[in-house]
Amino acid sequence: MTTAPVSPVSVPEKLLLAVVGLGLLLLLPVAFDADAQRARLCFFAALGLLSAGTLGWSWWKFGRGPAGVRQNNLWLRASTARGALAWLMAVVLTGFYVVLYWFSADNGQGNFGPLNQLVHALDPVSQALRHRPADQWFLYGTFYTLAVLLMGGRALWKYRHSPYQRVRTASVMFFQLGFAFLLPGLLLAFQRPEYYFSYFWPLKYDYLFPGTVGYLLKDGGPALGVFMVFWGAVMSFVATPVLTYFFGKRWYCSWVCGCGGLAETAGDPYRHLSDKSRTAWRWEVRLIYPILGFIVLVTVLLWLGAAGALPGWFTTPRQSGLPLVSGLSPVDGLSKVYGFFIGSIFSGVIGVGFYPLMGSRVWCRFGCPMAAYLGLLQKYFSRFRISTNGGQCISCGNCSNACEMGIDVKQYAQRGEPIIRASCVGCGLCSTVCPRGVLNLENGPREGRYQASPLISADSLRILG
C-alpha cells in the first residue's frame, strides 16, 4: 500500500525548526573555538536559540488551535518512524554519551577532553550555583535539565487538554529542576555531599553501598549525613512499598524519577516506538529481574564484606586479565562490572541514545532494577490498576501505540480486563489517547482488582507466557 500523504510543514514551523538547528550548530564553535570568551558567548547564544526555537516550535505545533490528541504523521515522518533522521539522532545521542562517559574525564589540569570548552563555558553558572568550577557531569546535568524543561513545555502544550498530563508533566519538571539540579548544586555550595533526594537504591545503587553510606555520614556532618542515609533507606524500604501500594509505581516512575522525566518530555516524540510484541515482553522479563537480582546480590555482598562476614577470598584484591576488574576484590569487581555494564552502558548509552529507535523507555523497561522492584510491588501489593470501561473498546490500538513501556494495552481492553502489569509506569497516555473513553487509571480497592467486565465475555486464550 502506498504511504498516506503527509501534511505540509508550514513556513513558520520550518523557521522555528531552523532556529533549533542553528542553536545546535552554534554548539560546534563552542567545542572548537580556542578563544574561551567567544566560546562562552556562542554557548549561551546556542542555549538561547535552542530554548526559543524548541518552545516556539512547540507552541506553533501544539499550542495554537483546538486542544486535543495530536498524533498526526507520527509513523509517516522519518524523524519519528525510525527513518534516516532518527538514525542520525540516535548516533549523535549515543556518541555524546560515549564521549561523556569515557573520554571527558578531568585530566587533572581542568581539561575535559572533547567537551572541554563546553564544560568551561558553564563555569560562571556552576560558580554561582555550586561555588566551584563546572565539570563534565555539571554540563550533562545542565543539558539534561534543559531537555526536561524545554520538552516539558512541549508536552504541556501537546497534552494541555488533559489535566492529568499537565500535572504529571509539571511534576517531573519540578523534580528534575529542584531535586536533581538545584538542590545537589546547593549542597555542594555548602560543602556538603552532592545528594539527589529523588533517586533511591536500587536505581541509584551506590546510595546504599557501605562506601557511600560511610562517606555521607562523614562528609554530610552529624545531622545532614545521617538524614541523607536515613532518607535513602526509608525511601527504598518503607516509602516505596507504601506509596506503591496506594498509587502504583507511577508515583515514582512517571512523576518523580529523572530518567522517567526525560522519557516523558524529551522522549515523548518516540514513545510509540517501543516494541509491543510478545517477544519483546519475553526479553523484558529475562533482563530486568536478573538485573534486580544482580544489584541486590552486589549490595548484600558489599555489606557482608564490610561487616567481615565473608571469607577472605571475597574481599582480597587480586590481579586478573580483565582490565575492568584487575586489582579489585571479587566483591568490588562485581560492583564495578554492574556499574560499567548496567549503570553506564545500559542506563545511559543505550537508555537514552536509542530513544529514536527503540522508544523512550528502553532502560526503564528492560534494565532498571528500581522499576523491577516497583513492578513486583505494583503487581502483587497495590491498589492500582487501569480499569477498562465495559464493552466500549473497538481494538483500535491507539493505547498500545502510545504505551512507552511496550504493553499491548488493547489486549486487555478488548477483553474488558483491568490492566495490571508490573511494567506499567502509569503515564496515563493510553487513557489520554483512547478515542472511546475506555481506560482509566484508578487506585481502587484491592477486592475485585482483577475482575473483568461482565459486559464482555472475555476469551480465555493466552496472550503472554
CB 94 within 8 A of CB 349: yes
Closer to other proteins by Cβ: residue 62 or 346: 62
User: What number of chain residues touch other proteins (CB under 8 A)?
Assistant: 66
Q: Does 162 bind other proteins (CB under 8 A)?
A: yes
Q: Using N-to-C axis directions, what is the helix angle for 278-306 and 330-337, rounded to 10°?
A: 150
Q: Could you tell me the sign of the dihedral formed by the alpha carbons of 71, 76, 78, 82, in that order? A: positive
Q: How many Å apart are CA 301 and CA 222, to the nearest integer?
A: 27
Shortest spacing between CB 334 and other proteins, in angstroms? 38
Q: Does 447 bind other proteins (CB under 8 A)?
A: no
Shortest spacing between CB 414 and other proteins, in angstroms? 6
User: Residues 457, 462, 465, CA angle at the centre, nearest 5°?
Assistant: 155
Shortest spacing between CB 48 and other proteins, in angstroms? 32
Site for other proteins in 273-292 (CB under 8 A): 277-278
Q: Does 394 bind other proteins (CB under 8 A)?
A: yes
Shortest spacing between CB 220 and other proteins, in angstroms? 36
Closer to other proteins by Cβ: residue 348 or 418: 418
CB neighbour list of residue 201: distance below 8 Å, 6 or more residues apart: 207, 208, 232, 236, 299, 370
Shortest spacing between CB 207 and other proteins, in angstroms? 31
Closer to other proteins by Cβ: residue 292 or 439: 439
Closer to other proteins by Cβ: residue 319 or 460: 460
Q: How many Å apart are CA 420 and CA 451, to the nearest integer?
A: 11
Q: How many Å apart are CA 380 and CA 300, to the nearest integer?
A: 24
Q: How many CB atoms lie within 10 A of CB 327?
A: 11
Instruction: Choose which of 182, 396, 420, 449 interacts with other proteins (CB under 8 A).
Output: 396
Q: Does 461 bind other proteins (CB under 8 A)?
A: yes
Q: Which three cell numbers stand for residue 210?
A: 557501605
Instruction: Choose which of 44, 101, 164, 303 interacts with other proteins (CB under 8 A).
Output: 164
Q: How many Å apart are CA 424 and CA 253, to the nearest integer?
A: 9
Q: Does 465 bind other proteins (CB under 8 A)?
A: no
Q: Which three cell numbers stand for residue 247?
A: 498509587
The DSSP 8-state label assigned to residue 175 in this structure reads: I
Q: How many Å apart are CA 421 and CA 438, to the nearest integer?
A: 17
Largest CA distance in the chain: 72
Q: How many Å apart are CA 318 and CA 399, to the nearest integer?
A: 53
Convert residues 179-208 into a mask of x (bound to other proteins by CB under 8 A) and - (unbound). Answer: ------------------------------
Q: Does 11 bind other proteins (CB under 8 A)?
A: no
Convert residues 426-445 into a mask of x (bound to other proteins by CB under 8 A) and - (unbound). Answer: --x--xx--xxx--xxxxxx
Shortest spacing between CB 356 and other proteins, in angstroms? 17
Site for other proteins in 369-388 (CB under 8 A): 383, 387
Comparing CA positions, the residue from 149, 216, 204, 202 lying closest to residue 178 is: 149
Closer to other proteins by Cβ: residue 315 or 401: 401
CB neighbour list of residue 66: distance below 8 Å, 6 or more residues apart: none
Q: How many Å apart are CA 301 and CA 330, to the nearest integer?
A: 10
Site for other proteins in 59-78 (CB under 8 A): 65-69, 71-77
Q: Does 395 bind other proteins (CB under 8 A)?
A: yes
The region of 97-105, 180-188, 366-374, 457-465 touching other proteins under the rule CB under 8 A is: 457-465
Q: How many Å apart are CA 108 and CA 178, to the nearest integer?
A: 30
CB 415 within 8 A of CB 387: no
Q: Does 169 bind other proteins (CB under 8 A)?
A: no
Q: Does 111 bind other proteins (CB under 8 A)?
A: no
The region of 109-117, 251-259, 360-368, 424-432 touching other proteins under the rule CB under 8 A is: 424-432
Closer to other proteins by Cβ: residue 198 or 400: 400
CB neighbour list of residue 109: distance below 8 Å, 6 or more residues apart: none
Q: How many CB atoms lie within 10 A of CB 317?
A: 12
Residue 431 phi/psi, 5° resolution?
Answer: -70, -40
Q: Does 210 bind other proteins (CB under 8 A)?
A: no
Site for other proteins in 77-106 (CB under 8 A): 77
Closer to other proteins by Cβ: residue 40 or 272: 272
Comparing CA positions, the residue from 289, 463, 283 lying closest to residue 362 is: 283
Residues that bind other proteins (CB under 8 A): 1-8, 65-69, 71-77, 161-164, 166-167, 277-278, 383, 387, 389-392, 394-398, 400-401, 408, 410-411, 414, 428, 431-432, 435-437, 440-445, 453-457, 459-461, 463
